[in-house]
């Protein structure tokens, strides 16, 4: 018996022959379904209905800082602690070891790692561009795992799933759009700007939505609860220790961990807050500059000027 296998002609099939405007409607429908499916799969969060964890009697400032902003916030908090305890000082815009530093044997492992980094003076903007964040990351693993177990941080499985969804969604959008674009160009049509623009814009949209939030809904609610529960620390932080009506030791690290260095403005530590705020802006600018400005979505892309002009009837087909 003769078995004949026929393959559909890639140049002549319902999609290849579809009239341009009709294909754009069809393509828009596929894009919409793909984006909504990706968004639902990546962004849905089952932790929103879970009860909030109890706030510990003595919260770990470093753990809270990691929850709020990852390794960078932990580094800021450790540096602030070392400055406060006399291990480091800020001189001429540089962070350096204090000549009257206490014995470093009293430091925790993560504090000693940061302290050792300042064997030579460093500016704040250099800190986050150096190897220090990667070194501190290994010490923060215990915080990360604990927060994942408490369902306050998105687990790595969700991040990996989001990566796979991103690949599949991008393949559908770029594959279908690229196929029709190739057919149109093969048949001599050149007014394909709208098709090209739809594909590129939707591609960037799916890249954006396929990044699950670092904090789960439970994590965001817990952080908000912390800020509400310890809001009185904002006023207490501005009081000198000698004026503390309770006469108890006040851990200044806790409000900085919960609210960030901005809470130090208006206090005797305002210099530190200003120093890291200005360095943070410089660090962001440096990071953007180093990534280059010639991306495909910049002003020089093929969608600029008249490149995206023309109608949508040139998407191939009759």
Residue 7, domain member (yes or no): no
Give yes or no: residues 253 and 145 share one domain. yes
Residue 195, domain member (yes or no): yes
Summarize pLDDT for 103-138 with one digit per residue, the tens: 888 899 999 999 999 989 988 888 888 889 999 999
Gap between the Cα atoms of 226 and 236, Å rounded: 16
Give yes or no: residues 265 and 135 share one domain. yes
The whole domain housing 132 covers 54-149+230-286
Give yes or no: residues 62 and 203 share one domain. no
Give yes or no: residues 44 and 58 share one domain. no
**223-227 mean pLDDT:** 94
pLDDT value at 289 more than 50: no
- Burial (CB count <10 Å: 0-12, 13-18, 19+), residue 141: exposed
- Burial (CB count <10 Å: 0-12, 13-18, 19+), residue 255: buried
Residue 314, domain member (yes or no): no
The tokens of 160 are what? 């990996």
Give yes or no: residues 142 and 272 share one domain. yes
Residue 11, domain member (yes or no): no
Summarize pLDDT for 148-206 with one digit per residue, the tens: 999 999 988 888 999 999 999 999 999 999 999 999 888 888 888 899 999 999 999 99
Summarize pLDDT for 231-277 with one digit per residue, the tens: 888 878 766 544 444 433 457 899 999 999 888 888 888 888 887 76
The tokens of 38 are what? 């990706």
The tokens of 139 are what? 């010490």
pLDDT-wise least confident of 3-17, 27-41, 189-203: 3-17
What's the pLDDT score for residue 309? 38
Tally of domains within the chain: 2
Give which of 162, 194, 145 is closest to 37, Cα–Cα: 162
Residue 179, domain member (yes or no): yes
Give yes or no: residues 67 and 145 share one domain. yes
Tell me the angle at which helices 132-139 and 61-84 cross, rounded to the nearest 10 degrees.
130
Q: What sections of the chain are H helices per DSSP? A: 20-43, 61-84, 109-117, 124-127, 132-139, 141-149, 156-186, 193-209, 217-229, 233-236, 253-259, 270-290
pLDDT value at 313 more than 70: no
Residue 2, domain member (yes or no): no
**76-101 mean pLDDT:** 90
Give yes or no: residues 195 and 67 share one domain. no
* 310 band by pLDDT with thresholds 50, 70 and 90: very low
User: In whole angstroms, how far apart are CA 91 and each of 104, 126, 147, 173, 301?
Assistant: 20, 15, 36, 54, 46
Give yes or no: residues 203 and 172 share one domain. yes
Q: What does pLDDT average to over the chain?
A: 81
Give yes or no: residues 65 and 117 share one domain. yes
Q: Which residue has the higher pLDDT, 293 or 10?
A: 10
Number of Cα atoms under 13 Å in the Cβ half of residue 28: 10
What's the pLDDT score for residue 239? 63
Give yes or no: residues 60 and 205 share one domain. no
Give yes or no: residues 70 and 33 share one domain. no
Give yes or no: residues 58 and 128 share one domain. yes
Residue 173, domain member (yes or no): yes
Residue 121, domain member (yes or no): yes
Q: Which residue has the higher pLDDT, 68 or 277?
A: 68
* 60 band by pLDDT with thresholds 50, 70 and 90: very high
The tokens of 151 are what? 């369902």
Give 163's contacts (C-beta < 8 A, 6+ positions apart).
Answer: 210
């Amino acid at each position: 018996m003769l078995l004949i296998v026929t393959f559909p002609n890639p140049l002549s099939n319902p999609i290849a022959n579809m009239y341009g405007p009709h294909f754009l409607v069809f393509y828009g429908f596929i894009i919409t379904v793909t984006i909504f499916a990706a968004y639902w799969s990546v962004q849905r969060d089952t932790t929103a209905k879970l009860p909030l964890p109890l706030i510990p009697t003595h919260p770990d400032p470093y753990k809270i800082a990691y929850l709020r902003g990852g390794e960078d916030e932990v580094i800021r908090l450790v540096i602030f602690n070392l400055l406060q305890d006399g291990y480091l000082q800020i001189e001429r815009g540089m962070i350096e070891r204090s000549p009257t530093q206490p014995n470093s044997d009293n430091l925790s492992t993560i504090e000693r790692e940061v302290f050792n980094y300042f064997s030579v003076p460093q500016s704040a903007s250099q800190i986050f561009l150096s190897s220090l964040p990667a070194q501190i990351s290994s010490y923060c693993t215990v915080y990360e795992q604990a927060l994942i177990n408490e369902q306050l941080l998105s687990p790595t499985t969700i991040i990996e799933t989001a990566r796979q969804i991103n690949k599949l969604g991008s393949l559908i959008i770029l594959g279908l759009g690229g196929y029709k674009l190739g057919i149109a160009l093969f048949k001599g049509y050149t007014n394909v700007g709208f098709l090209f623009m739809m594909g590129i814009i939707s591609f960037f949209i799916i890249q954006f939505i396929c990044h699950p939030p670092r904090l789960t809904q439970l994590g965001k609610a817990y952080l908000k609860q912390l800020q509400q529960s310890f809001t009185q620390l904002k006023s207490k932080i501005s009081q000198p220790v000698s004026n503390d009506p309770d006469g108890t030791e006040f851990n200044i690290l806790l409000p900085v961990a919960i609210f960030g260095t901005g809470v130090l403005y208006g206090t005797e530590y305002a210099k530190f807050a200003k120093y890291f705020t200005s360095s943070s802006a410089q660090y962001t600018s440096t990071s953007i500059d180093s990534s280059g400005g010639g991306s495909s979505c910049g002003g020089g892309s093929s969608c600029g000027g008249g490149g995206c002009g023309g109608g949508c009837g040139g998407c191939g087909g009759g």
